[in-house]
Amino acid sequence: MRPNIVSEAGLSTRAGQWWEGIPFFTSAVVIVCGTIYLVCLLTGYDSFYEICFLPSAVISQFQVYRIYISILFHGSLLHVLFNMMALVPLGSELERIMGSIRLLYIIILLATTNAIFHLVIASLAAHNPFHHFQYLMNECAIGFSGIIFSMIVIETSLSGVQSRSMFGLFNVPAKLYPWILLVLFQLLMTNVSLLGHLCGILSGFAYTYGLFNFLIPGTSFYSSIEASSWLSTCTRRPKFILCTGGNPSGHIPTYSGQNTNSSGLLSGNIWRNLSTWMPQRGTSSQPTQDSRFPGSGRTLGSGQLPLNSDSNLEARLLDNSSPDHPAPAIGTREQLSDRRQPAVDNAVAASRGPATHQKSNNLFLWVLKRHR
């Protein structure tokens, strides 16, 4: 019964550490999306026609609210779990680079541009003179995955990596990574919005190429928002990150020390990070060395002495005290200290075993003969 209690405590502790390492805005999105899904599940609400992104309703009835509300709703447990698991590493990395308020603005900008691309492509496809794809105008889309595809493109551009890992099995060129994900999701999953994901990729590339620079304000804009009184409660949170990259509480939350430059949406690093929640059996008793403090060390207050250094010291003493290497004359003060030494030698020798004890006795008898 006791091991089960320890395992549960270890799992909860690791989950708490993982959650504390997620910055403010990213964790807020996870909470909002998860809460909305639970409310819909408990109330039995499964008709998303009123809130989904519907191109025909946005154009004909000018229901702009659908652009921003639809990204917070998800249709199934797998849908919300997969999107949030992808959001946590991507959003955390971008939020630490941009800051919480800047990332919020970028998410709103990406949601807007995704919708514009979606409306333009759907309208052109539905009214082209060759073949009318009218169903694209009546396609009801929900979920955060369009924003996630934009974030994948942006994070890949910021990291500067040349390749990405797919499922931890093989690497692909970083420039092709979002396109391969687009094809895989379309082939492996049902009811996936191809146009929604495609528009997310297009918005991400437009952002990285600087096409939205005229829509992005300077740092002073975000700093003025962070300094406002109505946001002071949020800015004092330890997980909140300023637009300058700092944190008002002096704490920048991080969870994993692994290099995230080569990690992708489906790379092995995410699954390794998730597996660290579980307590491991048979781990080494030696602590992991911190790269910030290289070298060996000893815990303060520890009663154990380094055995290797003691053995080397005894070897040097025996070598220097042998008849072939006569010892120099010893002063009166040193003789007094030598008379106190047998008690210490006996205590140390008793803890080391018979062989070391015999060496210490021989050394002590030889020193007494020399003094006489």
Which residues on neighbouring strands pair with residue 166, listed in sequence order?
170
Q: What pLDDT score does 286 carry?
A: 43
> Judging by beta carbons within 10 Å of its beta carbon (0-12, 13-18, 19+), is residue 64 exposed, middle or buried?
exposed
**Closest CA relative to residue 208, chosen from 253, 275, 273, 152:** 152
Residues 154, 207 contacting (CB under 8 angstroms): yes
Tokens read off for 64: 């702009």
Helix, strand or coil, per DSSP, at residue 173: strand
Q: Specify whether the CB–CB gap between 365 and 372 falls below 8 A.
A: no
CA dihedral 85, 89, 90, 92 (to 10 degrees): 120
* pLDDT tens per residue across all 372 residues of the chain: 455 554 555 888 888 888 889 999 999 999 999 999 999 999 999 889 999 999 999 999 999 999 999 999 999 999 999 999 999 999 999 999 999 999 999 999 999 999 999 999 999 999 888 888 888 999 999 999 999 999 999 999 988 888 888 878 889 998 899 999 999 999 988 888 999 999 999 999 999 999 999 999 999 999 999 898 888 888 888 889 998 765 544 343 333 333 334 444 444 444 344 333 333 333 334 444 454 444 555 545 544 444 444 444 444 444 544 444 444 444 444 444 444 444 445 444 444 444 444 555 566 565 555 655
The single residue of 74, 79, 118, 197 carrying the catalytic annotation is 197
Dihedrals phi, psi of 217, to nearest 5 degrees: -75, 170
φ and ψ at 58, to 5 degrees? -65, -40
- Give the span between the Cα atoms of 150 and 62, in whole angstroms: 25
Structure tokens at 187: 């082939």
The CATH class, in words, for 2-275 is: mainly alpha
Residue 53 and residue 196 in contact, taking contact as beta carbons nearer than 8 Å: yes
Count Cβ neighbours within 10 Å for each residue of 148-187 and write b for 16 or more, e otherwise: bbbbbbbbbbebebeebbbeeeebeebeebbeebbeebee
The pLDDT value given to residue 133: 86
Which residue's structure tokens are 């002096």?
250
CB 116 within 8 A of CB 124: no
CA–CA distance from 53 to each of 71, 75, 76 (Å)? 8, 13, 17
> Rounded to whole angstroms, how far apart are CA atoms 290 and 28?
31
The domain limits of the chain are: 2-275, 307-371
Q: For residues 156 and 175, what is the distance between their CA atoms, to the nearest angstrom?
A: 8
Which SS3 state, helix, strand or coil, does residue 255 take? coil
Yes or no: say if 269 and 258 are a contact pair by the CB < 8 Å rule: yes
Looking at 27, 100, 145, 193, which residue is catalytic?
A: 145
Residue 197 known to be catalytic? yes
The C-alpha angle with vertex 243 and arms to 107 and 259, in degrees rounded to 5, equals 80
Question: d(Cα 115, Cα 141) in Å, to the nearest integer?
Answer: 11
Interatomic CA distance for residues 356 and 349, integer angstroms: 6
- What are 54's two structure tokens? 């519907």
